[in-house]
Amino acid sequence: MKQGGRISVLKVMKLLYLADREFLNRYDALILDDNYVSMDHGPVSSRTFNYINGGYPDLRSWNEFVRDREDNEISASSDQLTEDSLDELSRAELRVLEHIWEQHGNKTPWQLRNWTHRNCPEWIDPEGSSRPITYQSIFEALGKENAQQLAERLQEEMNRAIADA
């Protein structure tokens, strides 16, 4: 939508991570309900990265919006993708996504990578592997005084959602 329907995987992964991080900062909640890892090129939303890499080929809701990965890019599955078609997202989520795009949408994938390395202290260089990023470490990096309690509450909510699914 914003990038002509195509975007590099590296850039979209950084933008999605930053959006979820900003949503945590504002609302102590997640947009993606994902887990996070430090990878060589910065923080990554783990499950979303698996979707992009084709890890869940039968997921209809994903395929409704995203085409298969081609080279190092993904694209929207429809030229008709609009805010109205994103009705699963709240206004607050859309505002945060728009805010992140305004702040970082003009950056190249490599500029975003470098920006997250410098500005996301929860990311620790995994030296060729991956390392989990805890919700607590994100809350701490955001300066939340009750980081442990927020992380525990968030994890409990995610566990309940998984159990109810």
Give the model confidence (pLDDT) of 114-133 as tens digits. Answer: 999 999 999 999 999 999 99
105 Cβ contact partners less than 8 Å away, ≥ 6 residues apart: 2, 3, 15
Q: What is the reported pTM?
A: 0.82
Q: Residues 20, 163, 52, 2: is their CA dihedral positive or negative? A: negative
- Give the model confidence (pLDDT) of 8-52 as tens digits: 888 988 999 999 999 999 999 999 888 999 999 999 988 877 777
Residues with Cβ within 8 Å of residue 57, at least 6 apart in sequence = 63
Taking the C-alpha atoms of residue 62 and residue 42, their distance in angstroms, rounded to an integer, is 24
